[in-house]
Amino acid sequence: MHPDRHMYIVISCWLLINGIVFYFLGIKYAIDTTRFEAEADAWLNGNIEASYLLWYSGYTVFLSLSKLVFHSIYPTIVFQYVFSLTATVFFYRGLATLLKNKEAAFIATLLVIMYVPIQQWNTCLLTESVFISVILLFVWAFSLEKTSHKWFMLFSLAALAALTRPNGGIVLLTCCCMYGMQFFRQAKKLWLFFITGAAIILFLLNSFTDTFYQFLLDSFNKGEIICGYDQWTTSAGMCIADDPSSGSIAKIVHLVFSNPAKSMELFTGRFAALWMDVRSYYSLPHNVYIVLYLLPAYVMAIIGFIQYKNAFAELALATLLYGGINSMLVMLTYADWDGRFLAPLLPVVFIWAGLGSYFSIRFLKRKYSIV
């Protein structure tokens, strides 16, 4: 297939899917949108609250500009659509260059476009659409050949991700880990990386794990897999009291090891809730669609990872770091209601699914001598 036809199909599919989603869903003003709009109003009045200065400031800028120019936040939806289409095109082009395989890049891009729970965020006045688009551009940045340009773009996009959503900080952490490993490996001092990394991790854990401990303690007592949803819980147990006598890291470790069975049940449930994206309160057709879409994609991703992890070692490392840290964070805190934690992970997973699909098609052609 001619390369231009790949691009035409990518753009056409994106327009079709997003047109259908917009027709059925329209623009969604959610509960969280209220606080973002209030923050944008505060910014325009010169009042910037420290609580939102970092984690959501990137999205607040877009809302503030929309308010300033159009006196409404709704035109932000137009920006989200334009940004999403642009990022999708760059995702495909960058992936084709990175993998040196237009077919695998094409399949991966189609998987991103055709998974409706990803595209539906473009209709919402929330941070997810912009965050997912940044992830797509982050993948494109991997394809840049000049090392200085590549890392400049990776860190810039990672910083934008961190300023768009709190879990965007994981993108920045992943980027820092990758750069640190590359730097110290070239200096033949990888041992120094692990020592430095361990010190930074301990600092971060000591600074931020008190919040995680409170989430974990609360979920142990309530038994909730999904925060605020009491129809999927772990087995009942005695109420666990807070222990203020030790540090947060020690309290988390003690809590887990003192309740191994309940910890395993809770963490396994949250891992499944994160990666399956199926909810009992979704409609049956919606859940069937998710299962029939994700399970084959995951199988193809595993095949692709096994076959090509050495060929794309840097991408494999980024995938493990990004997916692993997100999974650990969800297991310690809580699973979400509506898939907003999974959606930004799937574009990276679909890269390996595209490679796995390409490998499987070639294998079947060779086995059955299909021309």
Mean pLDDT of 335-349: 94
Same domain, 121 and 232: no
Same domain, 125 and 207: no
Same domain, 152 and 194: no
Same domain, 319 and 290: yes
Please indicate, yes or no, if residue 190 is contained in any of the structural domains: yes
Residue 91's domain comprises 1-164
Same domain, 202 and 334: yes
Same domain, 160 and 257: no
Whether residue 238 is predicted with pLDDT greater than 80 in this model: the reply is no
Residues 212/205, Cβ–Cβ less than 8 Å: no
Whether residue 371 is predicted with pLDDT greater than 60 in this model: the reply is no
pLDDT of residue 200: 67
Same domain, 123 and 242: no
pLDDT of residue 342: 96
Same domain, 148 and 189: no
DSSP-H helix ranges across the chain: 3-25, 31-44, 57-70, 76-99, 102-114, 116-119, 128-141, 147-162, 169-186, 190-222, 248-258, 260-276, 284-308, 313-332, 346-367
* pLDDT tens track for 5-46: 899 999 999 999 999 999 999 999 998 899 899 989 988 988
Q: Percent of the chain, pLDDT > 70?
A: 87
Listed residues 102, 133, 164: the one ending a domain: 164
Please indicate, yes or no, if residue 177 is contained in any of the structural domains: no
Same domain, 219 and 281: yes
Mean pLDDT of 63-78: 95
Mean pLDDT of 313-319: 94
Whether residue 325 is predicted with pLDDT greater than 60 in this model: the reply is yes
Same domain, 81 and 118: yes
Whether residue 1 is predicted with pLDDT greater than 70 in this model: the reply is no
Instruction: Give one DSSP letter per residue of 216-246, joined into a string.
Output: HHHHHHH-BSBTT-TTSBPPP-PPPPP-TTS
Please indicate, yes or no, if residue 95 is contained in any of the structural domains: yes
Which strand (E) or helix (H) includes residue 353? helix 346-367
DSSP character for 28?
Answer: B
Please indicate, yes or no, if residue 173 is contained in any of the structural domains: no
**Nearest of 270, 348, 353, 287 to residue 116 by alpha carbon:** 287
**Nearest of 341, 55, 328, 51 to residue 212 by alpha carbon:** 328
Please indicate, yes or no, if residue 283 is contained in any of the structural domains: yes
Please indicate, yes or no, if residue 22 is contained in any of the structural domains: yes
Same domain, 231 and 354: yes
DSSP character for 335?
Answer: B
Number of structural domains found in the chain: 2
pLDDT of residue 10: 97
Mean pLDDT of 122-141: 97
Whether residue 50 is predicted with pLDDT greater than 60 in this model: the reply is no
Please indicate, yes or no, if residue 170 is contained in any of the structural domains: no
Listed residues 138, 164, 190: the one ending a domain: 164
Whether residue 190 is predicted with pLDDT greater than 80 in this model: the reply is no
Mean pLDDT of 341-357: 97
Whether residue 359 is predicted with pLDDT greater than 90 in this model: the reply is yes
pLDDT of residue 52: 53
Q: Percent of the chain, pLDDT > 90?
A: 62
Same domain, 125 and 208: no
How many residues does the structure list for the chain? 371
Please indicate, yes or no, if residue 171 is contained in any of the structural domains: no
